[in-house]
Structure 1
Amino acid sequence: MSISAMRNMPSEVIEAVSLKSSPTLVTFESVFKTYDEQNWVVNDLDLTIHQGEFLSLLGPSGSGKTTTLMMLAGFDAPDRGRIMMDGEDISRLPAYRRDMGVVFQSYALFPHMTVAQNVEFPLKLRKVPASEMRAQAREALALAKLEGFEDRMPSQLSGGQQQRVALARALVYRPRLLLMDEPLGALDKALREHMQLELKAIHKQLGITFIYVTHDQDEAMTMSDRVAVFHHGKIAQIDRPEIIYNRPSSCFVANFLGETNLFAGSILDRVDGTARVRLDDDGSVHSAQCGGGESLPGSRVALAIRPENLSFARPSESAISAQVCDAVFHGPHCKLHMRTTAGTAVCMTFNPSAIGRAVPVPGESVRLAMPAPHALVLPPP
């Protein structure tokens, strides 16, 4: 599911859906990792990975996601804590004994070997008989849609084809986990989007556990059963993609996944799961859903709302006043860039034909409403 597909999904519908229960395969228990003895790259990480799920580790550079993958693969070891798999501590187990396939962004193909030889290589290391090895390699190449490429050299392949060879090599012995570190990063946009669908189909077909590292939000949202958002070596939030998009737990998560408007304010009062917030910007009062953190009367908070959930206010509605700075046409929708009278940047997307309204021009003043079901109270950044 892409970000655009999640927009305007009611939170009550999202919360009514639950992941199918599946057994735990891997757990990280209070794992720490440092490379300079001063800063924790991974900082007290607890993570549970379920059998058969597609889990993406998402975050900016330096957030700890790749280090987490490398420790799971066995190429690195925790300084503290432990990594458990099926109840066994694998923290110090050599990589070759972990039954995991790994695909890197660079593909790491052997340039002097043919496609078939590259794919057969892991089986040779495992001393698989020649006839069985060829059969398994053919099956893996068919899975990656590389029939007819067996005798080609890596230099004769496109980037997308090389990525498929690396994937076939990682899957040829049917590992329990497939670990992927930015495997689509070197591909162009169209091919990357095509390969996302291919990976998702292969995961569904094989049913093995996929762990996928990326900094691309749409990539994580498109393919994953769950997404773990990393920040400063910790998991800021882990959940289904639609939950994280529509119910972020912090300003960092809200900002990292798509665009979000954030307004500073204070809680006036709270009833059940809804709070009324007075904005610092212009003193207007808005109702919103209570998200992460405390939301007691008087608490300082941030009010978050996605650009697609803002609307033009009716005369009777509580609204934010803003002046249009720029209007950008994006085909099916228009994006407005605005500033409030206090200087807060605001972004809004809408379909002019759907609401029967002309696109405001730069310099025009508008009043914007925040529908309570889509506005979220978060801890201040």
Structure 2
Amino acid sequence: MPVPEAPSTVPSSPALVRFEGVYKTYDERNWVVDNLDLDIRQGEFLSLLGPSGSGKTTTLMMLAGFDAPERGRILMDGNDISTLPAYKRDMGVVFQSYALFPHMSVAENVAFPLNLRKVPTAESKARVKEALALARLEGFEDRNPSQLSGGQQQRVALARALVYRPRMLLMDEPLGALDKALREHMQLELKAIHKQLGITFVYVTHDQDEAMTMSDRVAVFNEGKIAQIDCPQAIYNRPSTRFVANFLGETNMLEGVVLSVSGGQAQIRLSEDSSIHQAGCTDPELAAGSMAALAIRPENLRLAAPGEAAVQACVIDSVFHGAHCKLRLNMAKGSELSMTYNPGNLGRAAPMPGEMLSLALPGSQAMILR
């Protein structure tokens, strides 16, 4: 596998960590991480989100010092740490497996990193107490991991990673083994701990809701590259590619031909019914005459007002989800749409299978993607 030329030197920036042109392969044929440039800001909660094999965990392992890049550099405070051993990087790490020592008590597990650093006993006890309080584990000091629930074990692993006050906390799907209710509860707790400590959190997950709930920014990985990085609201509402739009929640994609592109907006004529619609566009390579898709979330579809530009679709079925209902619809040429609505706000009786609906596609809530 040919190795690319080394990247040019980039001037230092206020970013705490910077990946510069980083590559990683395990089989000498395929890049698991492919020319990665990434700045991690001081004090932010950054989630690395993507499907299995997208490169997010490998990126975290290189940041932690458990793996090294084939090419490129990882900088911290402007210093190259690409080959620095993990124990010298001042980073706490929490894994999905927790990796607790079964023969040690909770307090002994938490104190372990301090013992390695030969922290004096009195200071070690004070720090352990502080870390256990932060993780809400007071009173559990003498228990063994086998006596704890999954959520409690996760808290012990978190306390152990934070006890020596690292500059960064790295987490590799730490909530993956928990049930849904506990996982959602721990998401809020992690967010609160991040706010309290003010240190940088880097969090790997394949769960879109998890990333959206906790993060200041989300980096969406695909095939070793970052497809988009931004705040959760921008990633969700203004995806830059079809992959991002489809990976983060459900998205309707209506194919068509681009008529014009100007000022961050584009016009598209839909193949389905030749109707013309305008929506946002951030792709610099999108041009008039090219094929593209109008992407719109199910919750942004609505019933069209009289005289408003609309598409026609037939209701296939309706599914009740408690707080909302979801319609599945077919357009004349077979394109399928999904629409989410709140029954109390619909302003009419619930649509029934076989009914034809006129649907508006609000351009302010849609994107045109290649």
Shorter-chain TM-score bucket reads over 0.9
Q: Residues of 1 paired with 2:26 and 2:116: CA distance?
A: 31
State the Cα deviation string for residues 58-111 of structure 1 (Å, max 9, x = none): 000000000000000000000111101111111111101101100000000000
State the Cα deviation string for residues 294-347 of structure 1 (Å, max 9, x = none): 333212211101111111123422222211111011222211011212111210
What is the match of residue 35 of structure 2?
A: 44
What is the match of residue 137 of structure 1?
A: 128
What is the match of residue 279 of structure 1?
A: 270
* Paired AA for residue 151 in structure 2: G
What is the match of residue 234 of structure 1?
A: 225
Q: Residues of 1 paired with 2:118 and 2:344: CA distance?
A: 64
The count of residues paired between Structure 1 and Structure 2 equals: 358
2:49 is the counterpart of 1:72: no
2:335 is the counterpart of 1:347: no
- For the 8 Å contact 1:293–1:378, the answer to whether it is kept is no
* Paired AA for residue 200 in structure 1: K
- Superposed counterparts of 1:190-229, under 5 Å: 190-229=181-220
Identity of aligned residues (%): 72
Task: Quote the offset at 1:361 in angstroms.
Answer: 1.2
- Of residues 350, 353, 356, the one that matches 1:359 is 350
User: Equivalent residue of 1:24, what SS?
Assistant: coil
* Paired AA for residue 136 in structure 2: K
What is the match of residue 259 of structure 2?
A: 268
* Paired AA for residue 193 in structure 1: E
Q: Residues of 2 paired with 1:289 and 1:94: CA distance?
A: 46
* Paired AA for residue 297 in structure 1: A
Task: Quote the offset at 1:293 in angstroms.
Answer: 3.7
Q: Residues of 1 paired with 2:305 and 2:151: CA distance?
A: 51
> TM-score if structure 1 supplies the norm length?
0.92
Q: Residues of 2 paired with 1:168 and 1:291: CA distance?
A: 42
Higher relative contact order (CA 8 A, sep 6+): 1
User: Equivalent residue of 1:228, what SS?
Assistant: strand
Q: Residues of 1 paired with 2:167 and 2:75: CA distance?
A: 14
Q: Residues of 2 paired with 1:194 and 1:291: CA distance?
A: 36
* Paired AA for residue 340 in structure 1: M
What is the match of residue 311 of structure 1?
A: 302
Q: Residues of 1 paired with 2:213 and 2:220: CA distance?
A: 15
What is the match of residue 291 of structure 1?
A: 282
What is the match of residue 83 of structure 2?
A: 92
- CA RMSD after TM alignment: 1.2
* Paired AA for residue 104 in structure 1: F
- Of residues 176, 188, 212, the one that matches 2:179 is 188
Structure 1 unaligned regions, length at least 5: 1-21
Q: Residues of 2 paired with 1:213 and 1:44: CA distance?
A: 19
What is the match of residue 53 of structure 1?
A: 44
What is the match of residue 167 of structure 1?
A: 158
What is the match of residue 6 of structure 1?
A: none
Structure 2 unaligned regions, length at least 5: 1-12
Task: Quote the offset at 1:272 in angstroms.
Answer: 3.0
User: Equivalent residue of 1:37, what SS?
Assistant: coil
Q: Residues of 1 paired with 2:195 and 2:264: CA distance?
A: 37
- For the 8 Å contact 1:323–1:362, the answer to whether it is kept is yes
User: Equivalent residue of 2:146, what SS?
Assistant: helix
* Paired AA for residue 29 in structure 1: E
2:112 is the counterpart of 1:121: yes
> TM-score if structure 2 supplies the norm length?
0.95
